[in-house]
Amino acid sequence: MSPGPYFSPDIETLDRNDLDALIDERVRYTVQYAADHSPFYRNWFQKHRINPKEIRLHEDLLTLPLIAGKTIREHQPPVTPEFEFLSTDWSGVFSIQETSGTSGTPKGFFLTWDDWKRYAEKYARSFVSQGFTQKDRIVVCASYGMNVGANTMTIAAQRIGMGIIPMGKCSFDSRILKNYRPTAIVGSVFKLLRLLQRLRVEGVKPGDIAIDKLVAGGESFAEESRKYLAEQWGCPVFNTYGSTEGTMCGECTQLNGLHVPEDIVHLDVYDPRMESFVPDGECGRAVLTTLLPVGGKCGMLLLNYDTEDTTVVLSRDRCRCGRTHMRIHNPQREAETAWIFASAMNRVDIEAAVFQPENMVYLTGEYEAFIYDGELANETVLRISVECFDVERCDKRLVEDTMVSRFLKNKPGLAREYHEGNLKIQVGFSGTGGLELSRLKGRPRRLIDRRGTA
């Protein structure tokens, strides 16, 4: 397979030594920009006795303290009179954005038009790396509100020359697919699964639509659910990872990790338990730093920002697609991780167990899991509930055995507790709309820890 194509070939294929030199140049400029323009960082440098001029290389970022979402909230109204992370005057602000607020008070973000162009650059690179061209028409099933995702994708599509169908939600009428014949849809795994199930009920056949690729984003997912989604739609499913904070990484056609646009955002991996950064290949939390080109301006920048999403740096070698920017594992939300008997369990671990091929004959893919205290002092109960196409015809024993076996396979610590009787795993079955999450608005939490609530 020949490498390419690329949206910004000179940058995306830059030799590693040259790329590192460019990153270092932007680190120096960005850190000094923070000291000159951000009230928060000006005080932060003084408080921690940091001389911005001594931060010369990207390795020097490892010596700086971390900040988190809590830090941003503590330096914006109503806690403080002003938005202390704002790093331009109000006349330079093109738009005001907010995070979703799923993990607390929404964080305010301020974007200049240059910020928007850099955000769009990241998504444009991902789209092109996934095979998108000006011949594509894409349905965007993401919010066009205060979050940046949908608008960023729209600007990126314009720069590529693609057509956009800005639906915002995945509950659109099937005539959109039949009449306008878009070639791709952006949405979460579960939105895309529910859409497909609805199309089948309506009798829409593959020949009636022109979808030849899907882009899954908005939440982490198991490789098993991606594979199932791809099989059901009959086309590849590409992963993207983005945030208002500015991450925006994407898979290429090799499906071998998400490329990080290293010239625009720097990413390190930190282990909060060891309180240290970890080498490539080890899991930790993604820590990002905004990178500005020399002479660039920014509405709000972040240095050593703990995303609270876990990931692994897979490789910094040249990808088979020809890109030199490093690749990371699909990030998982720390907020969707629970600890049982000193073993970490993420929602995605549950999802991988649900989406086993044997199960999907009977299951819609919808699931939820709850952790409870057991009846005994050293006992924990994990209850996994799944939605069936037909509860009466579901082979419950097969589904339960398959799920439990797959879940324990990659969790030796939990497997030991299970076989010793300390961990109980219960599997429940419901019909369509019978799960708790079906009655909730917004993005559902699929793993909820209810221990200690009795």
The mean pLDDT of 249-275, rounded to a whole number, is 93
- pLDDT (0 to 100) of residue 211: 97
- pLDDT (0 to 100) of residue 272: 87
- pLDDT (0 to 100) of residue 335: 87
Q: pLDDT confidence of 360, banded at 50, 70, 90? A: very high
Answer CATH for 336-449 from 3.30.300.30, 3.40.50.300, 1.10.287.3510, 1.10.260.40: 3.30.300.30
The mean pLDDT of 148-158, rounded to a whole number, is 92
Count CB atoms within 10 A of the CB of residue 398. Answer: 14
pTM for this predicted structure = 0.91
pLDDT in tens, 77-121: 999 999 999 999 999 999 999 886 655 688 999 999 999 999 999
Domain ranges of the chain: 1-330, 336-449
Judged against a pLDDT cut of 90, whether residue 247 lies above it is answered with no
- CA pair distance 324, 166, nearest whole angstrom: 32
pLDDT in tens, 387-413: 999 999 999 999 999 999 999 999 999
453 vs 343 pLDDT, higher one: 343
pLDDT in tens, 17-34: 999 999 999 999 999 999
The mean pLDDT of 45-65, rounded to a whole number, is 95
Q: pLDDT confidence of 244, banded at 50, 70, 90? A: confident
- pLDDT (0 to 100) of residue 1: 32
CATH topology of domain 1-330: Rossmann fold (3.40.50)
Pairing verdict, β 213-216 and 184-187 = parallel
